[in-house]
Amino acid sequence: MNIEKGTVCPLCGKPLTENDDIVVCPDCGTPHHRACWKAHGQCGCPEHHTTAHETCSEPAAPETSEIPEIPEVQKPEVQVCFYCRTDNDPDARFCHHCGHPLSPAPDMPGVRLIFDPLGGVKPDAQIDGVSAKDLADVVGPRSSYYLPIFQRIAKKQRPLPLNLSALFFDMQWLFIRKMYLPAIGITLLELALAAPSIWGFVVTFIAGEALNFSSSFWLLYDACRFLKWVPRIALALFGNTLYQSHCVAKVQSLRQKYPDDAEFRTKARSQGGTSRFFTIVTTTLTVMYFIFTAWTTFAT
Q: What is the pLDDT of residues 47-93, one digit of tens each?
A: 766 654 445 544 444 545 566 666 665 656 777 776 666 677 777 76
- Percentage of the chain modeled with pLDDT above 70: 75
Given a contact cutoff of 8 angstroms between Cβ atoms, the answer to whether 152 and 269 are in contact is no
Amino acid sitting at position 146: Y
- State the pTM of this model: 0.58
pLDDT confidence of 45, banded at 50, 70, 90?
confident
Nearest-5° Cα angle at 135, 130 to 139 = 155
Q: What is the DSSP letter of 209?
A: S
What is the average pLDDT score of the chain?
A: 79
> pLDDT tens, 271-296?
998 998 988 988 887 788 778 777 76
With a cut of 90, say whether residue 35 has pLDDT above it.
no
Q: What is the DSSP letter of 131?
A: E
Q: Provide CB contacts within 8 A for 273, sequence distance 6+.
A: 138, 139, 140, 141, 178
pLDDT of res. 39: 82
> pLDDT tens, 98-157?
556 676 544 444 444 455 677 778 888 899 999 999 999 999 888 888 999 999 999 888
Q: Determine which of 46-55, 73-82, 177-186, 234-243 has the lowest per-residue pLDDT on average.
A: 46-55
Amino acid sitting at position 141: P
Omega into 159 within 30° of 0, i.e. cis? yes
In angstroms, the first-to-last Cα distance of the chain is: 78
Which of 181, 162, 161 has the alpha carbon at shortest distance from 171? 181
Q: Report which of residues 94 and 138 the model is more confident about.
A: 138
